[in-house]
């Protein structure tokens, strides 16, 4: 699919369909007003008739037989006063999925007047959302659903700077590609996405994006004392891997951002086996790792001025004859001993050693992401990812930046109470603290492996994949947290934050 800009007036663009935005105030301006005039007031008529109110992602299709574009799709963009550039990604995805299913091959997007405040970013969101809207999830069917196949996406510059629009398009193509990469990796079944396959995919991405790459095998992990990660893989015939992708965008700086993603390629629960219902969805338990790999691809292509390493510990969690058992004791890379209470709390075990390794590689800031706890889904549903941290300045910066990405994150506490709950009677830690505060006790466990490095934990269990499709994307993996990861990398490159080395702490008690 080609993405290009056009300087034509909205009424003159040659396309299969022209997409214009409609707000809830029912006021038509810019390209929407121009298209309405060309259609003899037809857009105003459908608004007046209640066919579209302007609510986010509503659509109304109008035919324009004698115009250069054959159709006009009006798409709701919500309240004008609350407009955010990220809303354009959902608008574009909605348009692509609606029109693509109707065999439209060429779609022109006219940006609303509100886009003038940040035209490059708005153009980026349109392209990102359009690409994400094309995903086909039926690739394993002998007769897949009819895919959405577009020949071109056209961004109308209007009165905006074409160079800025072009920059936005380039970013949007990279980010949309990265988001779809993460989604397709997560969609891949576990027999085709083993830890070895995941490491191979990471290596391919590193090669494509100009990154350096290395992977630790189980012998190397053993030599480094990664008993926590290795404990999880004991029940599987598939060996664990720990992939590291490195980007050096600012060699003069010693600051390194580490992104760590959970890569459980299938999670049966181990000896503490899960119920059979929906266990097939546990192929998605590597969504955090897929997100890190995809983010590193985007960073390699966008080339921000900072240093980033992506770490993906990958393992299967199966109840084989050598599987770790409840009551077993594991020792992590930093020497801390862990009593395994529940083998289904395995994600934190593989992340523990990866966090230690990130510190060994010189990380001065860390973010990990994981489909970690059902407790986070109970707390936040599918509306937001849980966010925990040991550093106030770092997490505030992240949340401010992530809010502009189109992904939602919500702060959860890490009080000392949660650390108390994971203390073991016979080891340093236990891997669960009971049902109460399950998301927070998991975060408290991970905090034990980052020392004083500013760190953020993202629990994406409720947001990494969805059970139903929306107007703008297919059901299944969402690509979370690629958008936020790329946004924070770009923000740090534009305005670096001095490492606090844990000096600015989140209050531990209330």
The catalytic residue positions are 274, 348
Strands 212-216 vs 152-156: parallel, antiparallel or unpaired: unpaired
Catalogue the E-assigned strands of 101-255: 106-110, 152-156, 212-216, 241-248
Q: What is the DSSP string of 255-267?
A: -EEEEEE-EEEEE
Q: Distance between the two ends of the chain, CA-based, in angstroms? A: 54
Helices 162-187 & 195-209 angle (0-180, nearest 10): 160
Residue 455: strand pairing partners: 366
CA-based torsion, 361, 363, 364, 370: positive or negative? negative
Q: Measure the CA–CA gap between 314 and 295, rounded to whole angstroms.
A: 17
Helix 162-187 to helix 287-302 angle, to the nearest 10 degrees? 150
Retrieve residue 372's tokens: 């970690």
What whole-number distance in Å separates Cα of residue 458 and Cα of residue 292?
12
CA atoms of 219 and 411, how far apart (whole Å): 38
Q: What is the Cα–Cα distance from 491 to 398, expressed in whole angstroms?
A: 9
* Residue 35, CB-side half-sphere exposure with 13 Å CA sphere: 33
Q: Could you identify the residue written with the tokens 């994400």?
A: 132
| C-alpha–C-alpha distance, residues 207 and 205, integer Å | 5
How far is the C-alpha of 8 from the C-alpha of 154, rounded, in Å? 10
């Amino acid at each position: 699919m080609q993405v290009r800009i056009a300087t034509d007036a909205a009424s003159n663009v040659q396309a299969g369909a022209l997409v214009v935005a409609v707000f809830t105030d029912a006021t038509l301006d810019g390209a929407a007003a121009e298209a309405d005039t060309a259609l003899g007031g037809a857009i105003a008529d459908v608004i007046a008739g209640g066919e579209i109110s302007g609510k986010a992602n509503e659509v109304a299709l109008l035919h324009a037989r004698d115009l250069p574009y054959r159709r006009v799709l009006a798409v709701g963009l919500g309240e004008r006063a609350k407009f955010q550039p990220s809303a354009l990604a959902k608008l574009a995805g909605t348009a692509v999925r609606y029109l693509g299913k109707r065999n439209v091959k060429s779609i022109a997007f006219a940006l609303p007047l509100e886009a003038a405040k940040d035209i490059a970013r708005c153009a980026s969101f349109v392209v990102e959302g359009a690409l994400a809207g094309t995903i086909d999830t039926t690739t394993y069917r002998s007769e897949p659903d009819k895919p959405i196949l577009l020949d071109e996406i056209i961004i109308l510059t209007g009165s905006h700077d074409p160079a800025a629009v072009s920059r936005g398009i380039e970013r949007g193509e990279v980010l949309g590609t990265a988001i779809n990469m993460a989604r397709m990796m997560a969609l891949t079944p576990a027999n085709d996405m083993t830890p070895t396959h995941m490491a191979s995919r990471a290596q391919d991405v590193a090669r494509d994006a100009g990154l350096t790459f290395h992977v630790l095998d189980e012998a190397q992990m053993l030599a480094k004392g990664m008993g926590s990660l290795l404990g999880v893989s004991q029940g599987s015939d598939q060996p664990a891997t720990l992939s590291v992708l490195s980007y050096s965008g600012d060699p003069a700086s010693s600051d390194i951002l580490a992104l760590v993603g959970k890569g459980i390629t299938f999670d049966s629960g181990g000896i503490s086996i899960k119920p059979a219902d929906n266990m097939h969805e546990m192929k998605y338990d590597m969504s955090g790792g897929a997100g890190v790999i995809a983010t590193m691809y985007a960073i390699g292509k966008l080339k921000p001025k900072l240093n980033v390493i992506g770490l993906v510990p990958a393992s299967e969690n199966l109840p084989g004859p050598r599987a770790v058992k409840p009551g077993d004791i594991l020792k992590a890379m930093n020497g801390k001993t862990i009593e395994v209470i529940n083998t289904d709390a395995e994600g934190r075990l593989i992340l523990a050693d990866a966090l230690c390794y990130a510190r060994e590689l010189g990380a001065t800031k860390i973010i990990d992401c994981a489909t970690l706890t059902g407790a986070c889904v109970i707390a936040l549903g599918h509306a937001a990812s849980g966010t925990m941290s040991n550093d106030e300045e770092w997490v505030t910066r992240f949340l401010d930046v992530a809010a502009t990405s189109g992904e939602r994150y919500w702060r959860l506490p890490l009080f000392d109470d949660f650390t108390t709950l994971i203390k073991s009677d016979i080891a340093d830690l236990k891997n669960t603290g009971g049902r109460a505060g399950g998301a927070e006790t998991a975060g408290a466990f991970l905090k034990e492996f980052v020392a004083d490095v500013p760190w953020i934990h993202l629990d994406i269990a409720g947001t990494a994949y969805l059970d139903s499709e929306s107007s703008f994307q297919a059901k299944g993996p969402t690509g979370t947290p690629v958008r936020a990861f790329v946004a924070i990398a770009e923000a740090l490159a534009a305005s670096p934050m001095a490492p606090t080395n844990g000096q600015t702490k989140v209050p531990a008690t209330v």
